[in-house]
Chains A and B, each alone.
Chain A
Amino acid sequence: MSYANPDVLADVEWLKKSLGRSDLAVIEVDYDPKLAYEQGHIPGALLIDWRRDMNKQNSRDIIDAEEFERLMSGLGVSNDTHVVLYGDYNNWFATFAFWVFEMYGHKRLQLLNGGRKKWIDSGGELSKELPKPKPSTYKVQKTDNSSRILLDELMREKIGSTSLVLVDVRSPAEFKGEITAPPEYPTEHAQRGGHIPGAINIPWGMAIKEDGTFKPFEELQKLYGSKGVDADKDVVAYCRIGERASVTWFVLKHLLGYKRVRVYDGSWTEWGNLVRFPIEK
Chain B
Amino acid sequence: MSIQFHKETFRGDYSFHNSERAIKRFPFPFDKDSYMYAVNMEQHRGGPADSIYEKRFDVDEHYISEMDDRAMVLADDPLRCQSLPHMTLAGWDLLELIMVSKSEDYPDLFELHRNGDQWRWINKPLGIDDSFTFMDETTLPYGPMEYITRQTQGDFCVLDQRDDNLWMDAGMVTTQADWSLDFDIGMNFFEWHAPVPLAHEKGIFVRALKFLLNIQQGAPARRLNWTMTVNPLLDTSPENYHKWGIQKTTLTPENIAAKQHLRVELQTFFRLPRSNALVFPIRCYLCAFQDLMTVPKWGRRLHRVIRDLPVELATYKGFIDNRPMMLDYLSQFDDGQPTSLGIWPDLDTEPPLKSA
- To the question of whether A and B form a pair in one complex, the answer is no
Interface residues of A (CB under 8 A from B): none
Residues of B whose CB lies within 8 Å of any CB of A are none
